[in-house]
């Protein structure tokens, strides 16, 4: 697989008004211990159910001499929050996850580990500790006017401060185009900066979380988040470039970072590739995989016109709003619960059958 986006813990030191997930916010005392303990307990099971190899075949680089006909490359796992550098998330969750991933893939082709942070908690010591654990990239995602203290020219001050720390640690800037999110082949350790700016792929803001409650999404029906990076496009084609899935701290997985109205499965219970392979050929998820969500309900009696009608709603502030993500949410909430449970039950039965055959040998 090319990419996995793993939000490792709900804790964040900020409560940004544009955040796509309400559960990312400050926690204290027992509540903090609760979300950290949850992340801490789930991480080993999630890692165990990740693919055996984090490599992929790059469709942009044909190679007739290579198995599969394309050049094999090392994929990446992006570790995000919330904010992964807060105490105790950093020490109890982030560092053990990095160490677990490095151990899992050490003799299986390797993995590129990306740590994503808002940037304001970056210190020389933390960077040293991350690089000592083999982190390939540190990506600063808070460079936009929505983050308090980053308005206008203020973000430049943080960027210059953090850049100096990165350079002193021997890191170099990535050539990654943050407005397109097309990753490049680069030797680490590298760093990058991006944010929810007008030119970025998330600039119009997803109709999710506090961004939705605060009426900040500017997306229209013309903005197909599904047919773009971090959307569902290509998520089922896990052997090839372009495939990415998103994981919550609970182990729930989704075909996109925006997250469908229902999860595909849970990685604390079953392997990721088994879940994805069980969805291949299913009309709903083939439509998402093709970046054409309007067709996801055809087999269940939802015409494209029905789906588009379901995309229209009112914002919490009472304004008219329409986006494909709204229709996807309504379809999943209305239709997909029983169907996803049927798929999960079939996977479980298949595992039990395989186990019985192995025992009988």
Max CA-CA distance within the chain? 68
- Residue 144 inside a domain? The answer is yes
Domain boundary among 183, 198, 218: 218
pLDDT band for position 178 (cuts 50, 70, 90)? low
Looking at the fold, whether 203 and 289 belong to one and the same domain comes out as no
Q: Is the pLDDT of residue 144 over 90?
A: no
Q: Does residue 208 share a domain with residue 88?
A: yes
Residues 108 and 183 in one domain: yes
CA 300, CA 336: separation in Å to the nearest integer? 10
pTM for the whole structure? 0.94
153 has pLDDT over 80 = no
Cα distance between residue 118 and residue 116, in whole Å: 7
Whether residue 14 has pLDDT greater than 70: yes
| Mean pLDDT score across all residues of the chain | 93
Q: What is the mean pLDDT of residues 212-241?
A: 94
> 175 and 30: one domain?
yes
pLDDT over 70 percentage in the chain: 96
Q: Is residue 273 situated within a structural domain?
A: no
Task: Answer whether residue 269 is part of any domain.
Answer: no
Do residues 212 and 287 both lie within one domain?
A: no
pLDDT tier, 199 (very low <50, low <70, confident <90, very high otherwise):
low
201 lies in the same domain as 345: no
Q: Write 25-34 long-range contacts (CB < 8 A, 24+).
A: 32/88
User: Which of 218, 234, 252 lies at the terminal end of a domain, its last residue?
Assistant: 218
Local confidence band at 45 (pLDDT 50, 70, 90 cut-offs): very high
The pLDDT value recorded for residue 143 is: 76
Q: Give the confidence band of 196 by pLDDT, cuts at 50, 70, 90.
A: low
244-247, strands of its sheet edge to edge:
172-173, 190-193, 137-140, 112-117, 76-80, 3-7, 244-247, 252-254, 265-266
Segments of the chain assigned E as strands: 3-7, 55-62, 70-74, 76-80, 112-117, 137-140, 172-173, 190-193, 244-247, 252-254, 265-266, 312-314, 320-322
Q: Are residues 154 and 297 in the same domain?
A: no
**80-89 average pLDDT score:** 97
Counting the structural domains of the chain, the total is 2
In a domain, 170, yes or no: yes
Q: What range defines the domain where residue 308 resides?
A: 283-360
Domain end marker among 171, 197, 218: 218
Residue 202: inside a domain, yes or no? yes
Query: Could you check whether the bond before residue 189 is cis, i.e. omega within 30 degrees of 0?
Result: yes
Specify if 93 maps to a domain: yes
Give a yes or no: residue 348 inside a domain.
yes
Tens of pLDDT, residue by residue over 229-268, are 889 999 999 999 999 999 999 999 999 999 999 999 999 9
Specify if 112 maps to a domain.
Answer: yes
Q: Under 8 Å CB-to-CB from 23, ≥6 apart: which residues?
A: 10
Kindly report the number of other CB atoms within 10 A of residue 72's CB atom: 17
Residue 65 has pLDDT above 80, yes or no: yes
């Amino acid at each position: 697989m090319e990419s996995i986006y793993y939000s490792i813990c709900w804790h964040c030191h900020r409560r940004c008004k544009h955040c796509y997930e309400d559960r990312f916010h400050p926690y204290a005392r027992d509540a903090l211990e609760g979300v950290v303990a949850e992340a801490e307990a789930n991480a080993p099971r999630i890692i165990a159910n990740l693919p055996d190899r984090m490599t992929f075949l790059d469709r942009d680089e044909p190679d007739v001499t290579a198995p599969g006909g394309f050049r094999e490359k090392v994929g990446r796992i992006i570790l995000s929050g919330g904010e992964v550098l807060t105490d105790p998330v950093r020490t109890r969750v982030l560092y053990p996850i990095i160490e677990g991933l490095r151990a899992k893939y050490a003799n299986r082709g390797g993995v590129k580990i990306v740590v994503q942070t808002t940037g304001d908690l970056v210190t020389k010591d933390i960077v040293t500790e991350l690089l000592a654990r083999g982190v390939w990239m540190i990506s600063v995602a808070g460079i936009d006017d929505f983050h308090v203290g980053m308005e206008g020219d203020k973000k430049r001050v943080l960027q210059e401060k953090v850049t100096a720390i990165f350079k002193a640690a021997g890191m170099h800037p990535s050539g990654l185009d943050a407005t397109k999110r097309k990753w490049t082949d680069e030797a680490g350790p590298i760093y990058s900066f991006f944010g929810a700016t007008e030119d970025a792929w998330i600039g119009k803001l997803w109709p999710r979380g506090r961004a939705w409650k605060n009426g900040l999404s500017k997306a229209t029906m013309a903005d197909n988040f599904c047919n773009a990076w971090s959307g569902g496009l290509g998520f089922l084609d896990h052997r090839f470039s372009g495939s990415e899935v998103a994981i919550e701290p609970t182990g729930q997985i989704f075909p996109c970072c925006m997250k469908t109205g229902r999860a595909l499965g849970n990685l604390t219970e079953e392997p990721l590739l088994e879940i994805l392979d069980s969805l291949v050929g299913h009309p709903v998820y083939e439509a998402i995989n093709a970046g054409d969500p309007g067709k996801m309900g055809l087999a269940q009696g939802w015409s494209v016109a029905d789906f588009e009608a379901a995309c229209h709603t009112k914002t919490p502030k009472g304004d008219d709003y329409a986006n494909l993500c709204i229709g996807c949410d309504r379809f999943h909430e209305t239709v997909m619960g029983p169907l996803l449970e049927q798929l999960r039950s079939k996977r479980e039965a298949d595992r039990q059958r395989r186990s019985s055959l192995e025992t009988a040998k």
